[in-house]
Structure 1
Amino acid sequence: MFNYTISWVQLLLTLTFSITQLSNLVKLSEALLFNSTQIAFVCKLLNFNLQHRSMLKLEEFLRQPTLTKVTEEEDNIIRHYVRGVRRIGLIFRVLCVVVVIFYALFPLMDRNPDGSKKLPLPIWLPFDSNKYYHTIWFSEVLSIAVGAWINSNIDILSYTLMTLGTAQFEILKNRLRNLVKTSNEFVEEDLVLEKMKQCVIHFNDINRLIDLIEKTLSNGIFVQFLCSVIFICMTGFQILVISFRSMQFVLLLTYFCCLTCQVVMYCWYGHILMNSSEDIAEACYMTEWFNGTQKIQRMFVIIMERAKRPVKLRAANFFYLNLQTLMAILRSSYSYFAVLWHIYSNQ
């Protein structure tokens, strides 16, 4: 309730400020810059709570024997992928901390043109903020810190779940490559067919895992992508219209890097997951299938035909999480930025 209250109050005050500044393009863009981030965060938090049963089901599904019974070599594959996402998560955390620090410092170092003190966030207040400046400053910094912490938690959890799906595909590919082992041109058909059956069950369970991840997170990611277009556009505009010697300029650059990294990681890990699933057919081909019986070869053909359709994570059935979507977001952001800059130049 504390998180919800502080997030919604912050969003409503910034939206009210935006309405009062419709005639001032610079201040309006500054407010929309933070609003886009806050709307995405509130929607992701709301989706996470609405989908809490799916999250519990997902956590339980990760304990399936087909996903947990692994050899030492396969366990190392999982650890390798998890270590990678932890490093990325740590970098993302550091960027979030730096952004919060800059949000706290820039109002103390920069002043408004009329000499009055700035606030970390452009919000509407029904009273004179100068009378309670330090209290408001502390409250805003606290709300930014709380939002950054929870937002990064949801993002890193999403990256980790996608990475676990990729690791399972890598384990499955490793098993398929080593499926047919020959000794003096002799292949135990029953043993190979039983292993293939286990691989098919594993493949189906991975697909069910990805479906659960998509059901749990896709709506929040969809809002994140939509708001990212506004965020990138407004940040670029703000960087051009404010003084590069101000602390706010440094804040905007850091903020841009942090939230762009947030979107890039969703698309990057989704793209890796898709590529990993596409390689299942190649893994079947790389085994010694030619030494198997006709029944074994037919089974390989069936698996390869099924693997032709790669696994893709979707954001609310509108966007795929891949690099093509990332480029579409960047192109859209630039288009809106160009229109906004043209309007500002004419004014």
Structure 2
Amino acid sequence: MVPTYAIFRGKDRYLPYNWWSPCELNVSLYFYGSIIYQLVVVMISGMNNSGIDIVCYKISKIICCQMDLLIGRSTQLNFLGQNNVEPLLNDLIKHHYEIIRLVEILNDLFSPIALVQCGTSGLAICFVGFQLMVTSIEISISYYLTDWYNACSSNVRNHLFLIMERTKRPLELRAGGVFPLTLSTLMSILRSSYSYMAVLQRLNKK
């Protein structure tokens, strides 16, 4: 990219971004038209990039809100009154299944994009993935904090066992299906980037 002060320096004309132009840049109309075209393209690319991040963030927040609702509903379980526990528990299981399915759809849609976005907006994406993972872990804790020890029905106990076993594996957003988007992943990327930069600096000094 050419610095702004160099675009109009002297008689030579430079575009903000070096590219092949089919027009003669010595003609003012073509020169200024090319500048406007490049700026519009950069703005559209930036808005698309930001839009993808925002959509992914908003959908992740919706999933987190659904998990918060699930956690809140799980506190309503009262195993001393066995009559209404099983229908509510079945409803909670269905709700949890829909959340898992929504995360899978989100991964299918944004996993390839997230792999590319890690290089540009890794902080935002990894933070969203970390928030989703932490909230999913809280589901298991919320069930454990209920009075599950009062459950007399074997069917109810089996349901609780399956729920807790499933929540041992937290929900994650994955970049390209390769690695999870968490803050630890972000730190690994930053450490690797710093190491590569240090090696390149040492090579340049030699």
TM range (shorter): 0.7 to 0.9
Q: 1:343 to 1:121 in 2, by over 3 A?
A: farther
Aligned equivalents of 1:210 and 1:322: distance in 2? 15
Q: 1:172 to 1:290 in 2, by over 3 A?
A: same
Partner of 1:165: 63
The structural deviation recorded for 1:130 is 4.4
Tell me, yes or no, if structure 1 residue 208 matches structure 2 residue 101: yes
Aligned equivalents of 1:130 and 1:345: distance in 2? 40
Aligned equivalents of 1:272 and 1:130: distance in 2? 53
Tell me, yes or no, if structure 1 residue 289 matches structure 2 residue 182: no
The Cα offsets for residues 223-267 of structure 1, whole Å up to 9 and x where unpaired, read as: 222xx1xxxxxxxxxxxxxxxxxxxxxxxxxxxxxx4xx221110
The structural deviation recorded for 1:173 is 1.0
Letter in 1 for 2:38: E
Tell me, yes or no, if structure 1 residue 129 matches structure 2 residue 15: no
Q: 1:331 to 1:163 in 2, by over 3 A?
A: same
The structural deviation recorded for 1:287 is 1.7
Matches within 5 A, 1:73-88: none
Aligned equivalents of 1:180 and 1:312: distance in 2? 30
Contact 2:78-2:146 within 8 A present in 1 as well = yes
Q: 1:301 to 1:216 in 2, by over 3 A?
A: same
Partner of 1:322: 182
Aligned equivalents of 2:43 and 2:6: distance in 1? 22
Q: Which runs of 5+ in 1 are unaligned?
A: 1-29, 32-105, 182-186, 229-258
Aligned equivalents of 1:158 and 1:143: distance in 2? 23
CA RMSD of aligned residues (A): 2.4
Number of equivalenced pairs: 201
Query: Per chain length, whose mean CA-contact separation is higher, i.e. which structure has more relative contact order (CA < 8 Å, sep 6+)?
Result: 1
Q: 1:343 to 1:118 in 2, by over 3 A?
A: farther
Please give the secondary structure, in 1, of the residue aligned with 2:172: coil
Matches within 5 A, 1:51-130: 107=4, 110-111=5-6, 115=10, 116-125=12-21, 129-130=25-26
Tell me, yes or no, if structure 1 residue 331 matches structure 2 residue 191: yes
The Cα offsets for residues 77-105 of structure 1, whole Å up to 9 and x where unpaired, read as: xxxxxxxxxxxxxxxxxxxxxxxxxxxxx
Aligned equivalents of 2:105 and 2:45: distance in 1? 26
Letter in 2 for 1:205: E
Aligned equivalents of 2:101 and 2:32: distance in 1? 51
The structural deviation recorded for 1:310 is 0.9
Partner of 1:138: 36
The structural deviation recorded for 1:151 is 1.9
Normalized per residue, the structure richer in helix is 1
Q: Once the two structures are aligned, what percentage of the paired residues are identical? A: 31
Partner of 2:128: 269
The structural deviation recorded for 1:188 is 2.8
Q: 1:343 to 1:127 in 2, by over 3 A?
A: farther
Aligned equivalents of 1:216 and 1:313: distance in 2? 11
Contact 2:13-2:25 within 8 A present in 1 as well = no
Please give the secondary structure, in 2, of the residue aligned with 1:190: coil
Partner of 1:69: none
Aligned equivalents of 2:40 and 2:26: distance in 1? 18
Match of 1:217 among 100, 106, 110: 110
Contact 2:77-2:85 within 8 A present in 1 as well = yes
Letter in 2 for 1:220: I
Aligned equivalents of 2:143 and 2:65: distance in 1? 17
TM-score, structure 1 length as denominator? 0.53
The Cα offsets for residues 173-225 of structure 1, whole Å up to 9 and x where unpaired, read as: 111122117xxxxx331310110001111111111111111111111111222
Aligned equivalents of 2:14 and 2:60: distance in 1? 41
The worse-fitting range, judged by mean Cα deviation, of 289-298 and 157-166 is: 289-298
Aligned equivalents of 1:206 and 1:275: distance in 2? 14
Structure label with greater radius of gyration: 2
Letter in 1 for 2:112: N
Contact 2:127-2:183 within 8 A present in 1 as well = yes
Q: 1:286 to 1:324 in 2, by over 3 A?
A: same
